[in-house]
């Protein structure tokens, strides 16, 4: 089992502003968790930059140009109330999207079995036309589109971040070769993700009410998400791995624990073993308690390695 870990020092340099919850300490906590003898077997790789062609599969040219031009020489540029760029943000965003694309290449070409991308900024709120919700480019979407370009016909994206991945849903709304399945708190930012939002039958939303328990999360997965994956029979499983549904997280109100991330990751690995030649690529999304990030990431990556 060759499990690759993609990251880059540039992802630590992105600064969205003083006091911003999406801080470099998040990635530091993740890397600290993986700097442990339990993870010595990880194949550690430097994330490349995403190419313009990779980004253009999921973003309009106007958005790409806006992000490329917006990076300041000093200080900060605010793209919206939540999303900002510092001088190092463009490089971080290119490496984050590039990590997922490199990981998808690796698992499809047989150079790795599974992969985890320890990167920031996150991506799942970035739509085809808009950077938002701390996200500049949609990392997981770029990886999914690359997989389609390489000939795969069924790519599944499972998103267990506490916030709905409106950007990923937007990008693949009319693409039947991509299944997007999300569990998330509702109501909560960004206000999308109702069960009735189904695209062309390829969108599966399982919203959870505030204060929902581990039991409710597992019930939604067992009743809605996992059956959809079995019906779809994916050739590749991608994971938007946000850990902000954890009970310690300060930005939301769900009550998941580390063992829930271990459980769902094992379930998704099982799906990949059955249908996808073991191929799984996971990428970090949200998670704003450093304690929860360390512990949940360790559980998640341990499951990817089994």
Exposure string of 35-58, with b = 16+ CB inside 10 Å and e = fewer, is: eeeebeebeebebbbbeeebbebb
3-class secondary structure for 236-290? EEEEEECCCCECCCCCCCCCECHHHHHHHHHHHHHHHHHHCCCCEEEEECCCCCH
Q: How many residues in total does the chain contain?
A: 306
Determine the Cα–Cα distance for residues 244 and 221; give it in Å rounded to an integer: 17
Q: Which SS3 state, helix, strand or coil, does residue 103 take? A: helix
Q: How many CB atoms lie within 10 A of CB 190?
A: 16
Structure tokens given for 179 = 């299944």
Task: Name every residue whose Cβ is closer than 8 Å to that of residue 256 and which is 6 or more positions away in sequence.
Answer: 214, 217, 245, 246, 247
Cβ neighbourhood burial of 231 (10 Å; 0-12, 13-18, 19+): exposed
d(Cα 51, Cα 94) in Å, to the nearest integer? 8
Q: What is the largest CA-CA distance in the chain?
A: 50
Other C-beta atoms closer than 10 Å to the C-beta of 174 total: 10
125 included as an active-site residue: yes
Marked catalytic residue, from 8, 125, 184, 300: 125
Peptide bond into 73 cis (omega under 30): no
**Backbone phi, psi, residue 36, to 5°:** -145, 150
Catalytic residues: 125
């Amino acid at each position: 089992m060759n499990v690759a870990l993609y990251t880059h020092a540039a992802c630590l340099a992105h600064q969205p502003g003083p006091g911003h919850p999406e801080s470099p300490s998040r990635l530091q906590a993740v890397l600290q968790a993986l700097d442990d003898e339990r993870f010595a077997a990880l194949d550690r790789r430097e994330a490349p930059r995403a190419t313009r062609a990779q980004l253009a599969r999921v973003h309009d040219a106007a958005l790409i140009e806006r992000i490329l031009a917006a990076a300041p020489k000093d200080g900060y540029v605010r793209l919206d109330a939540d999303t900002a760029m510092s001088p190092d943000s463009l490089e971080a965003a290119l490496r984050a999207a590039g990590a997922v694309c490199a990981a998808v290449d690796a698992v499809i070409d047989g150079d790795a079995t599974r992969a985890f991308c320890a990167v920031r900024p996150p991506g799942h709120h970035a739509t085809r036309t808009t950077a938002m919700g701390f996200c500049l480019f949609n990392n997981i979407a770029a990886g999914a589109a690359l997989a389609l370009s390489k000939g795969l016909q069924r790519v599944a994206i499972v998103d267990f971040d506490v916030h709905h991945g409106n950007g990923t849903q937007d990008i693949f709304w009319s693409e039947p070769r991509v299944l997007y399945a999300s569990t998330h708190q509702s109501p909560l930012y960004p206000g999308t993700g109702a069960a009735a939002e189904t695209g062309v039958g390829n969108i599966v939303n399982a919203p959870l009410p505030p204060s929902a328990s581990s039991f409710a999360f597992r019930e939604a997965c067992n009743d809605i998400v996992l059956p959809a994956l079995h019906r779809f029979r994916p050739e590749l499983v991608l994971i938007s791995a946000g850990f902000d549904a954890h009970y310690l997280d300060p930005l939301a109100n769900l009550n998941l624990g580390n063992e829930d991330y271990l459980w769902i990751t094992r379930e998704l690995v099982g799906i990949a073993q059955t249908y996808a030649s073991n191929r799984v690529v996971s990428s970090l999304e949200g998670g704003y308690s450093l304690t929860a990030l360390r512990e949940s990431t360790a559980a998640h990556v341990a499951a990817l390695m089994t």
